[in-house]
Structures are given as C-alpha cells and as structure tokens.
Amino acid sequence: MEHEPLPLPVPHNTAYLINEQFLHPGDSLSEKIFDIAPQALALPVAAPWLTMLSSLDFACRYRPEQVLPVHDGFVKDFFTDRQYQNWDRLLADRGMKFNGLRKPGDSIEI
C-alpha cells in the first residue's frame, strides 16, 4: 500500500497481516489493504498525515476485537493520556477494546 501523503518525500510503506488475525497497516489507511476482519488491529493514532476521524473510520471498517495504538511515540505524555482516554471511549462505544500500551515491555494477549 502507498504511504499516506506527506509534505516531504514519502517513504515506502508495508502492511502486515499475521495469521489472518493481526493487522498492522503501516502508515496507510487504504481501503485496499486486506479483505479480512482481523482480531487485532495496530491503529495509527498520531501522525502528520492523520486525523482522528480518518483513523476511527479505518478501525470501524475492520471492527477488530482489540485495537493497539501505534505511531504515537513522538506525542507528549500529557497529550497521549487524554487521547488514549478518548480512543478508549470511542472504540468501546463501537464494540472494540482499546489497549493503550504505554511503556516499553507492556503487552497484551491476542
């Protein structure tokens, strides 16, 4: 899949689907990634090319049981805390569990 548009040269993007259960779209929210509903989705939640609405729409298209935030390592802690609260509420309202992994070494079981 193509990387989402940036004002700088766009790097190559690779999406991964592992065991047809875990989807990592890389830096793309393309509708053409995979035609399968994964159990878990690594969801980009912060990026220069991203809006919260586009990311939420992408998650709702796949409707995974669990969502793991990615691509937010550059966001300040006070902002991440608030955003994770928002994501938790928004996804729970749509029947998806948000797993806000905050520290290196945090894990969940899929």
**pLDDT by residue (tens digit) across 44-97?**
999 888 999 999 999 999 999 999 999 887 788 888 888 999 999 999 999 999
60 within a domain of the structure (yes/no): yes
pLDDT value for 96:
96
Of 41 and 105, the structure prediction assigns the larger pLDDT to 41
Give the span between the Cα atoms of 66 and 16, in whole angstroms.
16
12 within a domain of the structure (yes/no): no
pLDDT value for 93:
95
32 within a domain of the structure (yes/no): no
87 within a domain of the structure (yes/no): yes
pLDDT band, residue 1 (cuts 50/70/90): low
17 within a domain of the structure (yes/no): no
pLDDT band, residue 34 (cuts 50/70/90): confident
Residue 32: both structure tokens together: 């053409």
Residue 81: both structure tokens together: 């805390």
4 within a domain of the structure (yes/no): no
Domain count, the chain: 1
107 within a domain of the structure (yes/no): no
29 within a domain of the structure (yes/no): no
Of 10 and 61, the structure prediction assigns the larger pLDDT to 61
Boundaries of domain holding 83: 42-102
Write out the E strands in 1-110: 16-18, 22-24, 40-44, 66-70, 97-98
From residue 35, alpha-carbon distances to 8, 17, 27, 61, 75 in Å are 30, 11, 18, 10, 31
pTM over 0.85: no
Give the span between the Cα atoms of 27 and 8, in whole angstroms.
14
